A and B are shown apart, each in its own frame.
Chain A
């Protein structure tokens, strides 16, 4: 069974930093691209970033480009999102999602971790 477990969320002040982690199990992690997707409470989903299976290529939404850094450690079956220069509008539940079906679809999702940016 595919399992994704996010951690690292919490309360941070504007301008601060936070590092999210996603622990993967139940599939060959090194064979799949991965995504981060966020959701402001009560609002819709927003794609944040994607990393290829090897980690050699990473893409970001314009809203986080230059502030967020996505990475992975295939030896540890783990995915990361380093978030710097956080803003109020970054407050959201952050989900990691596997890129299944040939990498074209976020298929399996974790339960999410809440990041709150507030003074």
Chain B
């Protein structure tokens, strides 16, 4: 089953927001292999966080990831207009399978 994310979150420019991603003890809880993706309309997903909390080269340090139990989180601090996008979490599910969250639409007010 898909990981559970809130359908939408919003925040004012400059503020911080957190997006949750809830799975099970077979995926999120079993592995420290959650990744997060940003997707702007009509574009391909872009990886922002991997292995739970690591940032790829070139990704702003305003993006951070964490995990507690079966729930992973993405925090974006100092919100900027360009952060407005859809965000997806993804977890390794074992046996070379992956599962994605349903996606969260971020609105920057």
Contacts and interface: CB of A to CB of B under 8 A. Distances in A.
B35 A105 contact: yes
B50 interface: yes
Given A106-B90, A107-B56, A61 B97 contact: yes
A37 B47 CA distance: 14
A41 to B, nearest CB: 10
Given A44-B88, A44-B101, A45-B90, A50 B96 contact: yes
Chain B interface secondary structure, helix, strand, loop or mixed? Answer: strand
Interface centre among B51, B99, B100 (most CB of A within 10 A): B100
A57 B96 contact: yes
Contacts, number: 66
Interface residues of A, number: 26
A101 B51 contact: yes
18 contacts: A44-B2, A44-B88, A45-B37, A45-B90, A45-B103, A46-B100, A47-B90, A47-B98, A59-B97, A95-B44, A100-B50, A106-B47, A106-B90, A107-B50, A107-B56, A108-B47, A110-B44, A111-B43
For the complex of A and B, 4 pairs with smallest distance between CB atoms: A47-B98, A44-B103, A109-B44, A45-B100
Interface of B: 2, 33, 35, 37, 43-47, 50-51, 54, 56, 88, 90, 92, 95-103
